[in-house]
DNA sequence: AGAATCACG
DNA sequence: ACGTACGTGATTCTG
């Protein structure tokens, strides 16, 4: 096989890698080391290796700041910003990674990576090798030659642009050698050498096409006619020659390595595995495990004992305080149970759910309030064991919930995530054991499976007290013990209960939608003069903006935007746009709400969503499989979907109770703004009263509906952490006008203004914001040097305490309502939660009681400086509960 | 897998 | 001057 030498500019690529992933916070290992550059470099490197399949590889590095170039020109690479510390700290690990890859790396005092590469490229080429050079720095294209191809990263790092002498001729009409002359004339702002004043790429190219080189140019300078350019060339002659010298990459650097030394040795899987563990690179870990079969799983110092049993005895349970139910798919309403496990950090028992739950001993252990247990995700376990009629009690530590409360930023999806954060590296990620995607499966080897589960149990057991102590430290023990933990049980029962959905009703709607969609498609094709996929934004863009020549209002990263606000602006100009808008809306209804929901109706005729209690950054719940928190309501066509949501029993109705303006009331409370509190105490219409203030109206009856609408938008904006631009977009008004609205608002509600300023200031000091119930959100981006990132964090600092406190309040109300339903032995059921709204199934004979009970509890869930108000409606379907 | 779009509070 | 509203999940297309 022919020899192929791959030369990589490590310094340049590592730097590019660093900037290609700027989401610094999510790329940290267990010791707080940033890993974004290492991760991204790894990805780039692998893709290059796969593509090139070289026989020889070398990664070259700059040795340091001082080189022969700085000796020639003191300011070479001067004026550069200091390397960010987040990057600096990753630099020592690149050699470790490369050693694990089996790839040589080299740096040389006084020289840059370029010169090492230049020298080896020459040597390789002379030896008849095919040479490939990869860098993020375009200067290296001067190395292109007969056997030398240069690849430069573009668009961050995702793609490579190839440079051969032919490409350079086509692009610049120059030879690779002339690239050096080009640099000499142009200079280089990032390397900080000057070239010739006022000469950029265009002028430099013109000159080189005429004269061929810097030397030739100055030979014939006298023949040039008098011009500013000529003057500059004469004045900067010295600089031009210096710059050319600086730009030239050395091809005879005194390197001490030979081509022999660059032979690719191949991956050392064990070293790589260790590196991935250290950096917490899960996906690479799994990938590696798939490729090789000789990797040893990490050793525990004192391995946990585990045993599969087919009978549960009291002795087994005697010292057991951790309970685990293993599943490998997310949706626990449908998931198959792989095993039930119980034990402690020393010994774990594993068995099937049938064996466990049929044991009297196990039943009473699970349901014994007095046995303080540790679990991971109480809600999931509650739903899973409910299949067997068991309801866990006495759970003290839910590691999942606790981790979420401690820091919403580090997403703890599985036990390994939190174990690794506490240096318990013996726990494997599920993906490592079970695989993922199409290859997801339980290992046949009971030893492997058993050890994996046992290690999880061990970690949970050890983590329990540690994590609770951390919560206590943050004053979050109450939040956990009296709100989130009991709520897990309430939510589990809501999920298990589910809500009845009329499948045939949905199917009827689906047929009608299909018919209308066909009509619209025909009409759209006719008006477009051709058939195309209306659902493809790309194809639609071509039709609208190229074929029909409609004006481009907004662009996205990838092309024309065809979002609703754009289409609405175009609608008056072209009737086709009306049809497209309607098509969009109906297609959404059909796919997401008719077909989508239908798939989730189980044999009991109900939909069982999952509330995710540990996801949002603010403390809200989210809902998935399916999402029942975004069922249409804003348009009549969409709202009809709600006709399909029914009470389970004929004699019952759907009752819906929602907080009125809860976020603004919370804002009034937290900010203690006099005027806003006053407005709410008077029971005023808050949007009208805001309108009166910002428009200077004295009598409520003089507020026009337009004013109220504007004021409402301003109120929303305030809650979101307002900006003039955002408001102007929302109201379709000028930015100046929007700014006036905001200024008026903040003058009138000066307490709100004060709060907004204080909350950001305090957050910058503390690093986090808090809700009324001590729920925290950390905002490291408040200190970002990037304006956008920082501004976003500031708006978040204003919004999170508001949105989060509102979420806290509804959670408190849910607990109280659940308590009342239980103690009063009512037949009414709490079915759904939609952020500020609760949905119940209520038997007719409990309706009166429930209406007042629910309102009463919700309104008095907490005591604020303003009253809380609840609106209730009921009907024979969710649609009619309005 | 990511982007674009759109449903909700 | 910088470019934006806050929080979610599902579907579809596309590289």
Please check whether strand B approaches the CB of A617 to within 7 Å.
no
Please check whether strand C approaches the CB of A331 to within 7 Å.
no
Q: What distances in angstroms separate CA A38 from CA A15, A27, A54, A83, A158, one per listed residue?
A: 10, 10, 22, 15, 15
State, as a whole number of angstroms, the distance between the CA of A561 and the C1' of B5: 10
What pTM did the predictor assign?
0.76
Q: Which phi and psi angles does A341 have, rounded to 5°? A: -130, 150
Which of chain A's residues 201-230 bind strand C, using a 7 Å CB cutoff? none
State, as a whole number of angstroms, the distance between the CA of A535 and the C1' of C13: 8
State, as a whole number of angstroms, the distance between the CA of A868 and the C1' of C9: 29
Residue identified by tokens 């008098």 is A226
Instruction: Find residue A612's DSSP bridge partners.
Output: A622
* Residues composing chain A: 882
State, as a whole number of angstroms, the distance between the CA of A141 and the C1' of C3: 36
Please check whether strand B approaches the CB of A69 to within 7 Å.
no
DSSP category for residue A595: I
Tell me the C-alpha distance between A52 and A5, whole Å. 9
Helix (H, G, I), strand (E, B) or coil at A531: coil
Nucleotides of C under 7 A from a protein CB: 1-15
State, as a whole number of angstroms, the distance between the CA of A429 and the C1' of B7: 34
Check residue A411 and give its pLDDT: 80
Helix (H, G, I), strand (E, B) or coil at A142: helix
DSSP codes, A50-108:
HHH--SEEEEEE---S-BHHHHH-TTTTTTPPPPPHHHHTTTTHHHHHHHHHT-EEEE-
DSSP category for residue A223: G
Tell me the C-alpha distance between A558 and A541, whole Å. 11
Residue A19 burial by Cβ neighbours in a 10 Å radius (0-12, 13-18, 19+): middle
Helix (H, G, I), strand (E, B) or coil at A870: strand
Check residue A277 and give its pLDDT: 77
Alpha-carbon torsion A230, A236, A238, A244, what sign? negative
DSSP category for residue A299: P
Looking at A483-574, list the stretches that DSSP marks H as alpha helix, in order from N- to C-terminal side: 485-497, 503-528, 537-541, 564-570
> Within 10 Å of residue A817's Cβ, how many Cβ atoms?
24
State, as a whole number of angstroms, the distance between the CA of A872 and the C1' of C7: 24
Please check whether strand C approaches the CB of A828 to within 7 Å.
no
Check residue A82 and give its pLDDT: 67
Phi-psi region of A619 (alpha: psi -120 to 50; beta: other; left: phi over 0): left
> Within 10 Å of residue A293's Cβ, how many Cβ atoms?
7
The nucleotide closest to A408 (CA, C1' atoms): C7
A247 contacts: CB under 8 Å, gap ≥ 6: A139, A142, A179, A180, A183, A184, A188, A193
Please check whether strand B approaches the CB of A873 to within 7 Å.
no
Please check whether strand B approaches the CB of A440 to within 7 Å.
no
The nucleotide closest to A715 (CA, C1' atoms): C5
Tell me the C-alpha distance between A524 and A583, whole Å. 9
State, as a whole number of angstroms, the distance between the CA of A201 and the C1' of B2: 35
Kindly report, residue by residue over A27-73, the tens digit of the pLDDT: 777 767 788 888 888 878 887 877 788 989 999 998 877 888 888 88
Tell me the C-alpha distance between A53 and A294, whole Å. 23
**In this structure, what is the dihedral angle of CA atoms A401, A332, A841, A817, given to the nearest 10 degrees?**
-20
Check residue A533 and give its pLDDT: 93
Judge whether A488 and A554 are in contact, CB under 8 Å.
no
Tell me the C-alpha distance between A534 and A544, whole Å. 11
Please check whether strand B approaches the CB of A837 to within 7 Å.
yes
Nucleotides of B under 7 A from a protein CB: 3-9
Select from A9, A10, A261 the least CA-distant residue to A124.
Answer: A261
Which regions of chain A are under pLDDT 50? none
Tell me the C-alpha distance between A649 and A651, whole Å. 5
Judge whether A383 and A492 are in contact, CB under 8 Å.
yes
Q: Which phi and psi angles does A839 have, rounded to 5°? A: -115, 130
Hey, what domains does chain A have and what are their CATH numbers?
1-172+252-279 (3.40.50.1010), 177-249 (1.10.150.20), 297-498 (3.30.420.10), 505-605 (1.20.1060.10), 657-662+806-881 (3.30.70.370), 673-802 (1.10.150.20)
Select from A579, A581, A542 the least CA-distant residue to A560.
Answer: A542
The nucleotide closest to A793 (CA, C1' atoms): C6
Check residue A585 and give its pLDDT: 94
Please check whether strand B approaches the CB of A70 to within 7 Å.
no
Q: What distances in angstroms separate CA A90 from CA A48, A93, A101, A804, one per listed residue?
A: 21, 6, 17, 36
State, as a whole number of angstroms, the distance between the CA of A688 and the C1' of B5: 33
State, as a whole number of angstroms, the distance between the CA of A243 and the C1' of C13: 49
Please check whether strand C approaches the CB of A624 to within 7 Å.
yes
Looking at A720-786, list the stretches that DSSP marks H as alpha helix, in order from N- to C-terminal side: 724-731, 735-748, 750-766
DSSP codes, A552-579:
P--B-SSSB---HHHHHHHGGG-HHHHH
Looking at A312-440, list the stretches that DSSP marks H as alpha helix, in order from N- to C-terminal side: 314-318, 353-358, 360-366, 378-386, 399-406, 415-421, 430-434
State, as a whole number of angstroms, the distance between the CA of A719 and the C1' of B3: 28
Residue A85 burial by Cβ neighbours in a 10 Å radius (0-12, 13-18, 19+): exposed
Q: Which phi and psi angles does A831 have, rounded to 5°? A: -105, -50
Q: What distances in angstroms separate CA A657 from CA A241, A488, A813, A847, one per listed residue?
A: 80, 21, 11, 12
Check residue A286 and give its pLDDT: 66
């Amino acid at each position: 096989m022919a020899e192929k030498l791959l030369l990589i500019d490590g310094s340049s690529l590592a730097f590019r890698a660093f900037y290609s992933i700027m989401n610094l916070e999510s790329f940290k290992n267990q010791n707080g080391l940033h890993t974004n550059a290492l991760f991204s470099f790894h990805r780039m490197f692998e893709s290059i290796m796969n593509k090139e399949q070289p026989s020889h590889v070398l990664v070259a590095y700059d040795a340091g700041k001082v080189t022969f170039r700085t000796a020639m020109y003191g300011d070479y690479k001067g004026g550069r910003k200091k390397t960010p510390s987040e990057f600096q700290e990753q630099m020592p690990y690149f050699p470790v990674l490369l050693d694990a890859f089996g790839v040589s790396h080299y740096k040389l005092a006084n020289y840059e990576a370029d010169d090492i590469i230049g020298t080896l490229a020459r040597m390789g080429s002379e030896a008849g090798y095919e040479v490939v050079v990869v860098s993020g720095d375009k200067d290296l294209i001067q190395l292109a030659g007969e056997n030398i191809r240069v690849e430069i990263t573009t668009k961050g790092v995702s793609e490579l642009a190839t440079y051969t002498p032919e490409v350079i001729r086509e692009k610049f009409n120059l030879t690779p050698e002339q690239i050096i002359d080009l640099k000499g004339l142009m200079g280089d702002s990032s390397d900080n050498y000057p070239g010739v004043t006022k000469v950029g790429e265009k002028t430099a190219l013109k000159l080189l096409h005429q004269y061929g080189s810097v030397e030739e140019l100055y030979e014939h300078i006298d023949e040039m006619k008098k011009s500013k350019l000529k003057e500059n060339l004469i004045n900067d002659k010295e600089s031009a020659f210096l710059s050319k010298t600086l730009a030239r990459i050395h091809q005879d650097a005194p390197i001490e390595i030979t081509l022999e030394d660059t032979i690719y040795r191949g991956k050392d899987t064990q070293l790589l595995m260790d590196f991935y563990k250290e950096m917490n690179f899960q996906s690479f870990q799994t990938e590696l495990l798939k490729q090789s079969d000789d990797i040893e799983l990490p050793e525990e110092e004192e391995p946990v004992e585990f045993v599969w049993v087919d009978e549960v005895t009291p002795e087994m349970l005697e010292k057991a305080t951790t309970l685990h139910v293993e599943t490998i798919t997310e949706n626990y309403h449908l998931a198959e149970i792989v095993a039930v496990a119980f034990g402690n950090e020393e010994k774990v028992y594993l068995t099937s759910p049938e064996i466990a739950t049929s044991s009297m001993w196990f039943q009473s252990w699970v349901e014994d309030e007095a046995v303080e247990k540790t679990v991971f995700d109480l809600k999931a376990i509650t739903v899973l064991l409910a299949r067997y009629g068991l309801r866990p009690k006495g759970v003290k530590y839910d590691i999942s919930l606790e981790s979420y409360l401690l820091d919403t930023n580090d997403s703890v999806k599985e036990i390994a995530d939190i174990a690794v954060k506490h240096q318990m590296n013996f726990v494997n990620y599920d993906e490592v054991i079970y695989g993922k995607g199409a290859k997801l499966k339980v290992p046949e080897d009971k030893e492997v499976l058993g050890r994996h589960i046992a290690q999880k149990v061990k970690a949970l057991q050890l983590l329990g007290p540690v994590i609770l102590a951390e919560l206590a430290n943050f004053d979050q023990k109450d939040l956990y013990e009296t709100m989130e933990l009991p709520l897990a049980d309430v939510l589990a029962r809501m999920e298990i209960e589910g809500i009845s959905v009329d499948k045939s009703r949905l199917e009827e709607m689906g047929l009608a939608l299909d018919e209308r969609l066909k009509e619209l498609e025909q009409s759209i094709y006719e008006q477009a003069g051709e058939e195309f996929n209306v659902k493809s934004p790309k194809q639609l863009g071509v039709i609208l903006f190229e074929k029909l020549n409609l004006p481009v209002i907004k662009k996205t990263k990838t092309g024309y935007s065809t979002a609703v606000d754009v289409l609405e602006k175009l609608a008056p100009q072209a009737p086709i746009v009306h049809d497209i808008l309607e098509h969009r809306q109906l297609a959404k209804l059909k796919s997401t709400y008719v077909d989508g929901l239908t798939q989730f109706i189980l044999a009991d005729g109900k939909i069982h969503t999952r509330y995710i209690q540990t996801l949002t950054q603010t403390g809200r719940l989210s809902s998935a499989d399916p999402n029942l928190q975004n069922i249409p309501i804003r348009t009549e066509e969409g709202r009809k979907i709600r006709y399909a949501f029914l009470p389970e029993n004929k004699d019952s109705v759907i009752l819906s109770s929602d907080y009125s303006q809860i976020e603004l009331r919370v804002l009034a409370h937290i900010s203690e703004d006099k005027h806003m509190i006053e407005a709410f105490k008077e029971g005023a219409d808050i949007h009208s009263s805001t309108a009166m203030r910002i428009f200077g109206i004295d009598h409520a009856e003089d507020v026009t509906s337009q004013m109220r609408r504007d004021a409402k938008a301003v109120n929303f904006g305030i809650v979101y952490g307002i900006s003039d631009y955002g408001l102007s977009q929302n109201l379709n008004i000028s930015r100046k006008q929007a700014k006036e609205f905001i200024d008026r608002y903040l003058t009138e509600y000066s307490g709100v203004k004060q709060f907004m300023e204080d909350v950001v200031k305090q957050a910058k000091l503390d690093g986090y914001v808090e809700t009324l119930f001590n729920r925290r959100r950390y905002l490291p981006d408040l200190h970002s040097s990037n304006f956008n990132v920082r501004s976003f964090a500031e708006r978040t600092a204003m919004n999170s305490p508001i949105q989060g406190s509102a979420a806290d309040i509804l959670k408190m109300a849910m607990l109280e309502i659940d308590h009342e339903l239980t103690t009063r032995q009512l037949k009414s059921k709490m079915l759904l939660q939609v952020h500020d709204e609760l949905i119940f199934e209520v038997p007719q004979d409990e309706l009166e009681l429930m209406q007042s009970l629910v309102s009463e509890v919700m309104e008095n869930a907490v005591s604020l400086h303003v009253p809380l108000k609840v609106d209730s409606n009921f009907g024979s379907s969710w649609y009619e509960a309005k």
